[in-house]
Amino acid sequence: MKREPGSIPLARPEPLIRVDDIAYVAFAKPDLERAERFLLDFGLVRAERRDDALYMRGAGPRPFAYVALRGEQARYLGAGFTAAARADLEALARATGAAIEPSDDPGGGERVRLRDPAGFQVDVLHGWQPAEPLPLRRQPLSLNTPFEKPRRNQTQRPERRPAAVWRLGHFVLEATDFAASASWYMRHLGLIPTDVQCLDDGSPNLAFMRCDRGERPADHHTVVVFGGLDDAYGHSAYEVLDLDEVGMGQQVLKAGGWQHVWGIGRHVLGSQIFDYWKDPDGVEMEHYADGDVFDAAQPTAYHDFDPGLLWNWGDDLPADFGPKLDLRSLAGIAGRLLRGKLSLPRLRLLKQSTSQPPRPWLARRKA
Provide the binding-site residues for Fe ion, judged by CB under 5 A. 237, 286
Determine phi and psi for 81, rounding to 5 degrees.
-135, 155
Task: Report the residue number, 92 or 182, with the smaller CB distance to Fe ion.
Answer: 182
Task: Report the residue number, 169 or 332, with the smaller CB distance to Fe ion.
Answer: 169
Task: Report the residue number, 174 or 286, with the smaller CB distance to Fe ion.
Answer: 286
Q: Quote the CA–CA distance of 213 and 21 in Å, as a whole number.
A: 9
CB atoms < 10 A from the CB of 198, how many? 24
CB atoms < 10 A from the CB of 93, how many? 16
Smallest gap from residue 170 Cβ to Fe ion (A):
6
Smallest gap from residue 286 Cβ to Fe ion (A):
5
Task: Report the residue number, 23 or 223, with the smaller CB distance to Fe ion.
Answer: 223
Task: Report the residue number, 38 or 128, with the smaller CB distance to Fe ion.
Answer: 38
Give residue 14's identity as a one-letter amino acid code: E
Smallest gap from residue 242 Cβ to Fe ion (A):
17
Smallest gap from residue 320 Cβ to Fe ion (A):
17
Smallest gap from residue 174 Cβ to Fe ion (A):
13
Q: Tell me the three state secondary structure of residue 330.
A: helix
Task: Report the residue number, 237 or 240, with the smaller CB distance to Fe ion.
Answer: 237
Strands (DSSP E) along 4-140, which ranges?
21-29, 45-50, 53-57, 66-70, 75-82, 100-102, 110-115, 121-126
Cα dihedral across residues 353, 232, 208, 325: positive or negative:
negative
Smallest gap from residue 182 Cβ to Fe ion (A):
16
Smallest gap from residue 171 Cβ to Fe ion (A):
8
Of all residues in the shown chain, the one whose CB is closest to Fe ion is 237
Cα dihedral across residues 299, 193, 227, 309: positive or negative:
positive
Q: Quote the CA–CA distance of 97 and 115 in Å, as a whole number.
A: 12
Task: Report the residue number, 88 or 219, with the smaller CB distance to Fe ion.
Answer: 219
* CB burial of residue 188 (10 Å; 0-12, 13-18, 19+): buried
